[in-house]
Structure formats: C-alpha cells, structure tokens
Chain A
Amino acid sequence: MKHLLSINDLDVQSALSVMNLALEMQQVNAREVKKLPALNGRTVANLFFEDSTRTRFSFELAAKRLSADVVNFSAKGSSVSKGESLKDTVQTIEAMGVEALIVRHHHSGAAKTIANSDWSKSIVINAGDGTHEHPTQALLDALTIRQRLKGKADSGDLAGLRVLIVGDILHSRVARSNCLLLRLLGASVGLCGPATLIPNDALKLADSVYFNLDEALADNFDVVMMLRMQRERMNSAFIPSETEYATLWGLTESRFNSLSNDTLIMHPGPMNRGLEISSTAADSAQSAILEQVTNGVAVRMAVLYKLLAKESSLS
C-alpha cells in the first residue's frame, strides 16, 4: 500500500501492525532525546486546506521525531474559482521535491483525488477530508482504548469491547473512521445523537443506534466517545439550541456520575466544555483525552515510518 486514505485501506493485520509500531514509538517519545534517524533526508509537506492546529502539530512533531524535513502549507478556502486549484498547489509543492503529502481538506475525497490523479506522484496521508474520514484519529483512538482497557503492552485486537460515539455523526469524519476501524478490530459500535445528525443508513456503519443518551448510557458501554458539536449546526435546523443540546446530549456531571467507574471517556478535541462534555467528565481519571493527543504523535510516527521508510510498507 502506498497511501493511507481510508481505514478501508487497512486489514486487521496492517492496522495492528501500525498500532504495535506506535507502541515502540511511544518508547522513543518517552526518552530524553526523542528522535530516530529513520526518515533523515526525506521531505514531507503538511498540506492544510482547513484550519487545524493540533493535527498539524501532531504530524509535524511525528515527522520531525523521525528526522524528516517538514514544510507547512496552509491555503484556507483554495478552489478553482477562488485562487489556485488543488492540482496547481500539489504540482507546485511536488516540484520543490516533496515526497509525501499530509492532506487536510474541507472536501470529502480530496486526498483520494490527489492520490489517484495523474498530477501527483507523492505518498498521500489523509489527515481529514471533509465529512469523510480521519484515519489516523481512529488509529490513535484504537490504540488508546487498547492501552486503557487491555493493558499498556497489549498487541491484540479489540474483540468484545463496546464503544458508544455520541454527537454529530452525520458530519463527523472521526465517527466514520472509528466505526470502520473499531469494528474491523472486533469491537462493536453504538451511535447516539439527535436524529437530525444520525444518517438514515447509520446501521450500515455501526451496530446500534440510539436517539436517547440516557438509554444508550444505560447499556453499559466500555467507552463513551463524545464528539465536538459545531456551533454553526444551530443555524441549519439540526438542533433547536445549545442549551437543549447540552441538556439532552451532553455528558453532564450527573450523567458522568451515573456511569460505572471503569467507563473510558474520550473526545477527539477540541472540546466545548459545558456543551457536549462537562469538565467533571473531561478532567476525571476515567478520561483518556490527553492520552489520545499523546498517542496521536506515536501513531503518526508509525504511519509515516510504514509509508516512507525504506523496505517498509503498511501491509
């Protein structure tokens, strides 16, 4: 495999192989000198057509810890009609000798379009495309779940675990990638949110669907993953108001307190405290939110290593 565009590019073996390599990268990240020479002399570009700080930082650190040279390009709202086309941008960056493109784009399928096009020869890593997928987020989430629920050094799959994803499923690339990966690894996934934000065909993506958070939480999931609620959804009649959302769909203090002590709380960030998640839940010992961020660097190191290091491939 040349690119990482979708979780569908992975099978169980290759997914576990990335996660297990990420375990080794965690060891590197724990050292005083957090650097490997693996990608010395290689050049990767962060091509970000949409605002993102944490994902760009995470990829940049991952590449640097493998000794790659990293350049950053951001072109918010670039389009054929308004400025430079994607084709021209990609060709320009590649003409400077970049070998891998880490692409975040507001249009679904943009990373795949670059990878399939006759205008790019680069290795392409999807860092989030529209409302489609965010594969490295799912990999870091799977790693985090495995470490917290099965032990730090476990190298197996997620068979038997049950994960609930709550919020705006319709627009969430995190939810799509997680449904694909967690189920690939043997977990079952429930989706929960207002029906306006749960697609009609959601059961094609997950194992169960709930339109009521309290009913969902009563089903004792091992993991509860809260999604960020985009405030602009209020303006398109998806939900009545922020307060109604926080009341009905937020992981409030009382909902959190009703959970079992070993339910893992996750959030891909950035959080809207008080809207989809209460501080009590976010800052609790059950929360893995900061570990997700830490694991993000290790997982991205593993992906870069697999795709770029000589004599290596994800599969």
Chain B
Amino acid sequence: MFTLKNVQLANGEVCDVVIEDEYIKAVGQSMNEGELIDCSGLIALQGFVDLHTHLREPGFEQSETILTGSRAAAKGGFTAVHAMANTMPVADNAAVVEQVYALGKSAGYVQVQPIGAVTLGLNGVQLADLGKMNASKANVTVFSDDGKCVNDSLVMRRALEYVKAFDGVVAQHAQDPALTIGAQMNEGELSLKLGLTGWPAVAETAIIARDVLLAEQVQSKLHVCHVSTKGSVEIIRWAKSKGIKVTAEVTPHHLLLTEKLTSDYNPIFKVNPPLRTDEDVQALREAVADGTIDIVATDHAPHPADSKDCEWGEAAFGMIGLETAAAIVKTTLVDTGLISWSRFEEVLSTNPARIGKLRDQGQQIAEGNFANLTLMDARKVFSVSSNSESKSANNPFLGHELSGEIIHTIYKGVFTVKNSAIQRLGAK
C-alpha cells in the first residue's frame, strides 16, 4: 500500500491517492496510508492506452520485442498497448494472438492486447479467423491489416459485417494501393522538386469515404488509423454528423512534423502515411479538439538501423513514438490552448480503451478502480534525446523541445516507471 501525496487531477483538484494491490483504495485529502510518495507539482492522469503499436514480435525481434516495446510504452506513460497484426507469422489466427497476449502478460509492463488481421496473411482476399481470435484467450475485438489497406470493397464490407457478431471493429489503414504505387512522400510542390513519387491525399480520403459509407450500409463500426490529411478530417466530420459509427486516430508525428523535413532525403522522416503540410497539421490538431478525431495513437514502428542508413527510396517506412507521444500531445494541443487536460485524458486513455474494449483500462482515478496511472511533470521542458527503452533508434523527434515529462507510471498498482526510470519487475 502506498499514497501518492498532493497530485493534481485533470480537473485541477489537488488530492492524495491511496493505492492498495491493483486498485485505487481511496482518493481524498490528508490520506497517509503506507509509503508516502510526494507528487507535489505532478499531474495524475489515467494510464495511457495506445491503439496502434508495432511490437514486431514474433518475427522481427531485431527491431523490437514484446518486452522492449512494453518497456518503451511504460516509459511513455502507457499502461496498455494494442499490438498490430503485421508480424511474422501474421496475427491472423488464435495461436499467434494468444502467444502475443501471453508474452505481454509475462513481460508485465503494460497490458498487451493483440489486434487480429482482417485477412489471411494480410492478403486482402480471404477473411482471417476473426471469430476464433475473438473467442481465444486474447479476446480480440479490433481487427486491422495495418501496413496494408483492405482494398477490396467486398472484403471490407464482409469484414465490417462479420465483426458485428461480437461487437468488433475494423481498423482501416486507408491507402488506395493503385494510387500509391512507388509513392514516397506527400504529393505536391515539394515532391515535384525532390523528384520523389507523390502520395496524393486522395489515396487516403477516397478509401475513408468508401469505408464510412460501407459502415453506414451494414451498420457496423469502423476505426480509421493514422488520419493524415485535412480532407480526411472533413469526410470523418461529415460521417459523424450523419451518425455513422466511425472513430479516428491521429499520430503524434502527424500532429508535429511536416513534409518540409523530407527536403534532405533523410529517411528518418519516411513514414506511411507520409508527413503532410502545415495546413494538414493544423486541421488534425483542430479535429482532436472538436472531437472529429477521437484518439491519439502512436503507430510506434521500430526498424533496425540499416533500414534507415541508406538512400530514401530503399528505406523502411516508420518511426518510433511511444516515449514521446504524451509530450507531443501536451506540447501541440494543451500548451497551445486547443484542448484541456480532460480532453487529453480522453484522447490518450478513455477513448482508446473504449474503442479497444479494454475494461480494466481508461478508468477514472477514483476509489475502487484499477490503479493505472501516469504522473507527469507538466512544467518540465526537455530536448528529446536518443535514450530509449525501444530496441530501435528510428526517432524523428531528436532535438525537438517538448514539454511534459513522465515521472511515474503505475500499472495495476505496480510502479513500472519511478522517478523517470524504468523499473525491474520481479524475476522477469
């Protein structure tokens, strides 16, 4: 048992939080039970939940493992992550998702919830074992071919229909493959000047437009991964106004970085979907503020050094982001006055937990709830360094000045991060 003294909650209230075993025992004034931990000046937030993490295991352990990815997540204030399905073998059956689930449990730093593939081997043709993955110990409810788009309209329709049986959701990587053959960066003046094949915005918006109409037709739930363009925001806003069951995410990098960083052909900035324009970044920020975009999700995508130490055209797409996500949201949205701390908690905890149906996560900091908490020093301004718990170093934010440092992360009553240092958990 321990007591977090003088924490500030998202609503501004300053209080003490008593934690016993996995639960919050009490929240109030002048509590002094067990070890007393001074948290004066820290803001206590619901543990963060990432709906979009590439943990790379099984198959790509040279980039990340479930253990190293879990540690990076804890370092970033997360108490749960959703592990994307594009592993090797692909998480398209009960055996793989149960393995990922079990490895996450034994790592113990965060709740690792597997996402199942929509189609077999991400082939876009034949549905994966959606029902069996749902019925497995991993209890999968989010399905995604992320990295690839479910491009065939009929397959997408069938997937949306099929998951209704267990109230699942299809998380779409919206990218028309024919419109993005060989695409390298946002299509526009800069791609013309750099001679890099353009990635037109319409390749994303057209798929989102089709998918929200399909979701409406079959009355199912759609989630749109990593929205990157202003046009996509407008389509989703329209769909929500029509009552279509669509949710959407934006990544921290699409809230902060723009295509201008591509100018030197440094592949650290190569990502799918690509970095876009200032105008897109502004639209995405406003969409988080007005509720059009429901969550921030990292799309943490570790890659080995060699796959970024090469010419742009050969480099892998993706960037890591678990450890910097909260500070980026704080810097780009809270510090700019666009969102409150309550909205911050919604987009990083409550909403992703709801979309991912993680009942133990996204709970309020209140008596009787699971003790999943993150304590942030909101005043701390820091320059992003290469220190990382991730196995990979493809960090595009190096040298960026951000505010909001994660001081403690508590997952089910256990400190996974204490005084900004990752903790050793038992004999794991």
Contact = CB atoms under 8 A, between A and B. Distances in A.
Interface stretch (A22-30, A108-116, A181-189): A108-116
Interface string A99-111: 0000001111110
A205 B311 contact: no
Given A85-B306, A116-B264, A110 B313 contact: yes
Nearest to A201: B189
A133 B310 contact: no
A132 B197 CA distance: 10
Number of chain A interface residues as a range: 20 to 34
B190 to A, nearest CB: 9
Contacts of B152: none
Interface residues of B, number: 23
Contact of B310 (A87, A106, A176, A202): A87
A109 B189 contact: no
Interface string A188-214: 000000000001111011000000000
A200 B313 CA distance: 22
A59 B266 CA distance: 28
Nearest to A105: B311
Interface string A249-289: 00000000000000000000000000000000000000000
Interface string B9-34: 00000000000000000000000000
A108 B192 contact: no
Contacts of A110: 311-313
Interface in B196-217: 196-198
A79 interface: yes
B312 A113 contact: yes
Contacts of A108: 184, 194-196, 265, 312-313
A129 B195 CA distance: 9
Contacts of B360: none
A173 B195 contact: yes
A130 B195 contact: yes
B186 to A, nearest CB: 12
A80 interface: yes
B194 A132 contact: yes
A173 B195 CA distance: 7
Interface string A32-69: 00000000000000000000000000000000000000
Contacts of A133: 195
Given A108-B265, A109-B265, A112-B264, A79 B314 contact: yes
Contact of B195 (A80, A87, A131, A202): A131
Contact of A107 (B181, B307, B312): B312
* 10 nearest CB pairs, A to B: A132-B195, A109-B265, A107-B313, A108-B195, A131-B195, A201-B189, A110-B311, A199-B192, A107-B311, A204-B189
Interface of A: 79-81, 85-87, 105-110, 112-113, 116-117, 119, 129-133, 173, 176, 199-202, 204-205, 236
Given A112-B265, A201-B189, 12 more contacts: A79-B314, A86-B310, A86-B311, A106-B313, A109-B311, A113-B312, A129-B195, A133-B195, A176-B195, A200-B187, A200-B188, A201-B192
25 contacts: A80-B314, A85-B314, A86-B310, A86-B314, A87-B310, A106-B313, A107-B313, A108-B312, A108-B313, A109-B311, A112-B264, A112-B265, A113-B310, A113-B311, A116-B265, A119-B309, A129-B195, A131-B196, A200-B188, A201-B189, A201-B192, A202-B192, A204-B192, A204-B193, A236-B181
